[in-house]
Amino acid sequence: MSVQSTLPNQPETQISDSFTPERIQKILEVALLTAQEPLPITELRKLFNHELSTAVLSKFLHRIREKWNDSGIELVTVASGWRFQSSTDMQPYLDRLTPPKTPRYSRAVLETLAIIAYRQPVTRGDIEEIRGVSVSSMVLKTLTTRGWIETVGHRNAPGKPALFATTEHFLNALNLRTLDELPPLEEMKSLVESGGESQQLPLQQPAAPDY
């Protein structure tokens, strides 16, 4: 049972809510420029006390995207919503200010990430099976700490191994909206070329992942 705030006047009542198109665009821009996280349209509707529809806001967002085109800043949609970010051609300049802080990941980390991204949910054992080597805890910790993978459950098998999947944050970081936008898996060319016997191998491509 929480006590109501006794504060006299909430800001709500003080906003004059005459939303001209210019004003709507301005408010959207300020919200997106100051947001800490990508903002979904449902969230952006709060700016206008839900008075504007998703469709209307979507039109405005596209207009804003146009406006910022070629400014070195772009408005993009990622998994969790809309956000402003610098365009990639600006990064070399930004790196002059702050030396790149993100580590380049080792092959072990990248391969583990790829397996989790494309085959999720997978256990550590699954990853080891595919890579043919054991996966160090450090690798999984690196990805977990970055917020790119998380445990989504446990397989009902001896030892109840954790099942890993990629996070929404991972999609955001790579500018993706859904896992479908990951680069498609390549068909691998047969391992045994033109050898007589080898062609008889009943090779199948790995089952297409179902996401």
Partner 1 sequence: MDLVIDSPDPHPIARVCGKPLLEIPQDLYIPPHALEVFLDTFQGPLDLLLYLIRKHNLNILDIPMAELTQQYMSYVDMMRMEQLELAAEYLLMTALLIEIKSRMLLPNPKTLAEEEHDPRAELVQRLLEYEQMKKAALRLNELPQAERDFTLVQVLIKHEEIVTLLPDISIDDLREAWITVLTRTKVNRHHQVKRETLSVRAFMSQVLRDLRAHNQLEFYDLFSPTATITEVVVTFLAILELAKELLLEISQSRDSGIIYVRSINAAQPT
96-155 binders of a second copy (CB under 8 A): 96-97, 102, 104-107, 110
List 49, 69, 134, 137, residue binding partner 1 (CB under 8 A) = 134
Q: Which of residues 45-64 bind a second copy (CB under 8 A)?
A: 46-47, 49
Name, in order, each residue with C-beta under 8 angstroms of 94's C-beta and a sequence gap of 6 or more.
86
Number of Cβ within a 10 Å radius of residue 76? 15
* Residue 91 binds partner 1, judged by CB under 8 A: yes
Q: Binding string to partner 1 for residues 38 to 67, with x set by CB under 8 A, is what? A: ------------------------------
CB of 28 to partner 1, least distance (A): 13
Quote the tokens at residue 48: 């206008």
Could you give the CA distance from residue 119 to residue 99 in angstroms, rounded to a whole number?
Answer: 34
* Residue 8 binds a second copy, judged by CB under 8 A: yes
List 15, 55, 191, 208, residue binding partner 1 (CB under 8 A) = 191
Beta strands in the chain (DSSP E): 73-78, 81-86, 149-154, 162-166
Name, in order, each residue with C-beta under 8 angstroms of 188's C-beta and a sequence gap of 6 or more.
205
Number of Cβ within a 10 Å radius of residue 87? 14
List 54, 69, 137, 178, residue binding partner 1 (CB under 8 A) = 178
Quote the tokens at residue 60: 């405005």
Per CB under 8 A, residues contacting a second copy are 1-6, 8-12, 14-15, 26-27, 29-31, 33-35, 39, 43, 46-47, 49, 71-73, 84-86, 88, 90-97, 102, 104-107, 110, 172-175
